[in-house]
Chain A
Amino acid sequence: MNCLAFDRLLDTGDLAALPDDALTHAVTCARCARALAVARSLEAAFERHLAAADVAAPAGLAGAVMARVSLRQRASRASFVADLTPWWVGVAAQPSAVGAMVIAALLTWRGPWLLAATQRAFGPGGAAFSFAAGPLATASQWTRTTVHAFVPSSDGDWTTAIAIALCLSPLALVAGYALYRAAERLVEGPVRA
């Protein structure tokens, strides 16, 4: 064993398991004895100050991770559902679409009456709403004609029924699709995201 080989052992080897010839060399060589002592001192310092420091994770780390995971799960489910949902279900679920259908239902049900009430409420300015009278009368006539074409024997007033149908149509579309998906899952089993 020479000093060069000894240095290489210190650089690459395990200080606790130095071979006998290395230890013998360290006894006879003051330079290598000093190098070994420094190496041991360094490793001991590592153990005292760093390796021994048992670091605990901060309280709440796991909870914070799981909260973020939960958010991702929800986002992933939402995008998965959004990917599968047909466009018309998305449209039917829009608040603006629901509002439009409610207004259409009200106009179908009591269009002329609502118009008259609006005109009364606005007083002299109410005349401005007269432009709606023509289209409303036309729509009412068209509804009656269409209903009569499909149900020739009907002579009654169908406006209430049509208004209710219009009002409930967004709900029917969304609920119908949800029911279809539920039935599909019953037959095919759960779908994994």
Chain B
Amino acid sequence: MAHTPPSSPDADRQADERRLIASAQAGDASAFRVLVERHQSRAYALALRITRSAADAEEVAQDAFVKVWDALPGFRGDSSFSTWLHRIVARRAIDRAETLQRRRKREAREDAMGEPAAATPSGDRLEAAHLKRIMEQQLSKAQYLVVTLFYFEGHSVEQVAAVLEMNENTVKTHLSRARAVLREAWLAVGGEPA
């Protein structure tokens, strides 16, 4: 009698995902819906971290999933589905973020003329505001993306390289320089341990 080794929940999940992808590739929209439901939160979170706008992140995530549906017949599984999806989300979010950045700069210039200054945040909110500002102002675009994917999306260097289509050494270099820049900036805003 053939003995089937017990499968881990992770392996089961991966096999299930492969089945769903194959069904979606054959045109099964309900299988694709399951894939969307499984991945939507992470795709949205990634888009939100890059665009920093809820409405734009939602639109980016939607566009990315529609793009995935269109490109699904050509998906060969060289990288994992989530890596592939994140690559599409990241590209779209980067494009959107650049447009938003130009708009924010313009609005900031307009606000600076006559608008009263916003109230200064305190405590935890101040720390969070410092972190965001440091990341936005001190890191290059590539460093920001690498840090976002590595720290906040929990990707490995290899996965970050796959998502951003970069060499792994390039990712390591960006990460290393980003850490150095962030430490210096963190110290400058008084982010020292108590």
Contacts and interface: CB of A to CB of B under 8 A. Distances in A.
Contacts of B187: 38
A158 interface: no
A193 B41 contact: no
A130 interface: no
A64 interface: yes
A192 B27 contact: yes
A41 B45 CA distance: 24
A72 B66 contact: yes
Q: Is the interface of B mostly helix, strand, loop or mixed?
A: helix
B70 A72 contact: yes
Interface residues of B, number: 42
B151 A46 contact: yes
A51 B151 contact: yes
A62 interface: yes
A80 B69 CA distance: 17
A82 B81 CA distance: 33
Nearest to A66: B33
B103 interface: no
Nearest to A61: B40
Interface of A: 7, 10-12, 34-35, 37-43, 45-46, 48-51, 55-58, 61-62, 64-66, 68-70, 72-73, 192-193
18 contacts: A7-B180, A11-B177, A37-B193, A38-B191, A39-B179, A41-B193, A42-B182, A45-B127, A45-B131, A45-B186, A46-B152, A50-B152, A57-B40, A57-B41, A61-B61, A65-B40, A66-B29, A66-B36
